[in-house]
Amino acid sequence: MSVAAASFAVFAASQVGTPGPANMALMTTGAAHGLRAALPFVAGVALGKQLIIWPIGFGLMELATRYPAAFVALKWISAAYIIWLAWRVANLRLGEGRAATAPGFFAGLVVHPLNPKAWTMITGGFTAFTAPGTPAFEATATIAAILLATQLVLHPLWTWGGSLMADHVRGTAAERYLMWALAGLTVASVLFVLIGGTPT
């Protein structure tokens, strides 16, 4: 096969499954609203990565070398958006949050397109796991399918993890600290991205 699918699947799981801005946003949303209410957001986050994969597969990254300022701007827009998601739930108390409206599908859809580390991970997938000369459609479809399958398993787990933590602290003194801790970890992961770290 022209794409090293098994190796890429291991790489994808290591990237999608580790802490980063998207996963912290998922965990925070799960804590604030519960897994069921957060599912449209989860679906949006998972499918949003497809909005990056297909353009990159057909040569979009060539534009990055011509217009680097656009990608610097993308990094800061990404940071602002994900920090806003964190702030939105940081001050919620869990009882209020579960009753409030969770971020929906379209809010999730833009998480990865506005996440420069997602762009980096996908670009790395094409350059490191695809043989030269592989047809664009074959390479893109393979990478897209593997990433989507990985996200459909791991993204709900992050969201459920946030929900489980919230269930244990709802109504206790630790409730406020949990929400602020999740928001703080989200912001920290964004700052780590901005200074050149590697989480997704």
DSSP 88-136: HHHT--HHHHHHSPPP-HHHHHTTTTT-HHHHHHHHHHHHHHB-TT--H
Q: Which among 95, 82, 96, 88 has a CA at the least distance from the CA of 19?
A: 82
What Cα–Cα distance (Å) separates residue 163 from each residue in 26, 102, 112, 170? 10, 13, 22, 10
pLDDT of residue 145: 96
pLDDT of residue 39: 94
Q: What is the mean pLDDT of the chain?
A: 78
Flag whether 11 is in a domain.
Answer: no
Flag whether 76 is in a domain.
Answer: yes
Flag whether 92 is in a domain.
Answer: yes
What stretches in the chain show pLDDT beneath 70? 1, 60-65, 67-68, 70-72, 74-75, 78-79, 81-82, 85-86, 88-100, 116-117, 186, 189-200
pLDDT of residue 89: 60
Are 98 and 169 within 8 A, CB to CB?
A: no
Flag whether 122 is in a domain.
Answer: yes
Cross-strand bridge partners of residue 16: none
pLDDT of residue 97: 47
Could you tell me the pTM of the whole model?
0.71
Flag whether 145 is in a domain.
Answer: yes
Flag whether 167 is in a domain.
Answer: yes
By residue range, what is the domain housing residue 36? 20-194
Number of domain units in the chain: 1
Are 149 and 47 within 8 A, CB to CB?
A: no
Flag whether 110 is in a domain.
Answer: yes
Flag whether 12 is in a domain.
Answer: no
pLDDT of residue 173: 73
